[in-house]
Structure 1
Amino acid sequence: MIRLEYLENKIWKNDVTCVNIFKLNKASFFHFCKLFRDRGLLQDTIHMCVEQHIAMFLNIVGHNIRNRLIGTNYDRSGETVSRYFNKVLHAIGELRNEFIRPPSSSTPTKIVRNPR
């Protein structure tokens, strides 16, 4: 699994690097992966584990990196990167009611009391 070596040797080895790349520490990253796996939203495939799916997704959204560069880093084609990005995006959408709150329609009291 030469493709996992990038994650194991470069990113998961150090918590600071994990935060810099994924914007999550190692424990949170693996908890996030477990959540998707336990809910059946993402599954390992013959060619790629859930951790790789999520790593590519977080790398793309965290740094606005193009599929071509992610494909180079993870030794995948742009089409593969795009496919798994969309799978993770869909899985996150399934959790929207738990993690994304709609904006409040009430005005905060600090603003209401401000005479400006």
Structure 2
Amino acid sequence: MSEQAFKKLCPILQSDGGLRPTQCMSVEEHVAIFLHIGGNDLRYTFVSWMYRRFKSITSGCFHRVFHTIISLESRYIEQPKGDVVPKEIQEKKRVFPYFKNCIRATDGTHVRVKVPNKEALRYRGHKRYPTIKVLAVCSFGLKFTYVLISREDTASDSRILKNAVNRDDKLVIPNDNL
């Protein structure tokens, strides 16, 4: 993340999300720790050593920023309604007749996870290691509009999609596109 983006993110998390500095840590340090862990797949132990903090403080910091970001989701993410054909499709005659009702792209992917040995079989599908499936939907501007993480790799794609459209925070699919 660039320094400019970081300097814009911290005040947003503080003013809009309610993230507050603690007695021994600023909002900027909270966000930096969160980005180090999430962006680099680092463990609490290593990041705690880097920032000279107890592991419990690092974990709490990560979770405070994580919950703040989740609380801002409804303010910054809007699912497309599907009533307008995206210009990326309208302007290309080669794809318009085939994708005229398409409002976004959906894809599933596998993410490697670590689970206790006794549960590893549930998370192992056609991969040789445990994974979870992630359903991701993005607009033509390559902005995520919906992400759903399944519990285990053995879940079928249709089961994950059914879960996505039946949840309280469901994936919205306009009726014209069914």
TM-score range, shorter chain: 0.5 to 0.7
Q: Does 1:71 align with 2:56?
A: no
Structure 2, unmatched stretches of 5+, are: 90-94, 100-178
Query: Which has more helix, going by share of residues?
Result: 1
Runs of 4+ aligned structure 1 residues displaced above 2 Å come to: 98-106, 108-112
Change (3 A) 1:84 1:112: farther
**The structure with more radius of gyration:** 2
- Name the CA distance, whole Å, in 1 between partners of 2:46 and 2:59: 12
> What SS is found at the alignment partner of 1:113?
helix
TM-score (norm 2): 0.45
- Name the CA distance, whole Å, in 1 between partners of 2:78 and 2:9: 18
Query: Which has more strand, going by share of residues?
Result: 2
Amino acid at match of 2:32: A
Root-mean-square deviation (CA, aligned residues, Å) is: 2.4
Q: Aligned residue for 2:70? A: 93
Q: Aligned residue for 1:113? A: 98
- Name the CA distance, whole Å, in 2 between partners of 1:113 and 1:96: 32
- Name the CA distance, whole Å, in 1 between partners of 2:20 and 2:42: 24
- Name the CA distance, whole Å, in 2 between partners of 1:65 and 1:111: 44
Q: CA deviation at 1:102?
A: 4.3
1:1-116 equivalences under 5 Å are: 24-39=1-16, 41-102=18-79, 110=95, 113=98
> What SS is found at the alignment partner of 2:61?
helix
> What SS is found at the alignment partner of 2:13?
helix
Query: Quick one: higher RCO (CA 8 Å, sep 6+), 1 or 2?
Result: 1
Q: CA deviation at 1:30?
A: 1.2
Q: Aligned residue for 2:152? A: none
Change (3 A) 1:34 1:104: same
Change (3 A) 1:68 1:102: farther
Amino acid at match of 2:50: N
